[in-house]
Amino acid sequence: MRILNEIVSRFDMLCLEYGIEKIKMVGNTFMGATGINEKDQNDSIQHLADFCFALKEKIIEINKIFSQNYSLRIGLEMGPLVAGVIGKKKV
């Protein structure tokens, strides 16, 4: 549980750094989006790509710290996003 908390915490910090909106985390799936609130959405795909490379570096760091061999599988999708909040608040 400690390692999972470390991974998610580091990923959350990267979201802030790269302007990624964390959409959800279910099991071992981390979903985020970019370009949602930005005035200039032209740079959003570059932010997302940079974010993905940073995720890879964080996993390498975590593997060294905890003597593990975790890996990532990353997928990127471009296009319109439709989303909403179910319940009283997003998070």
Give the CATH number for residue 28: 3.30.70.1230
User: Does residue 30 surpass a pLDDT of 60?
Assistant: yes
pLDDT per residue as tens digits for the range 51-65: 999 999 999 999 999
Report phi then psi at 78, rounded to 5.
-115, 145
Does residue 81 form part of some domain?
A: no
Q: What does the mean pLDDT of the chain come to? A: 84
Does residue 23 form part of some domain?
A: yes
Band of pLDDT at residue 37, cut at 50, 70 and 90: low
Does residue 35 form part of some domain?
A: yes
Our count of domains for the chain comes to: 1
Does residue 29 form part of some domain?
A: yes
pTM: 0.79
Q: What is the pLDDT of residue 39?
A: 63
The boundaries of the domain holding residue 54 are 2-66
Beta strand 21-26 with 29-33: parallel, antiparallel or unpaired? antiparallel
Angle (nearest 5°) at CA 31 between 25 and 36: 125
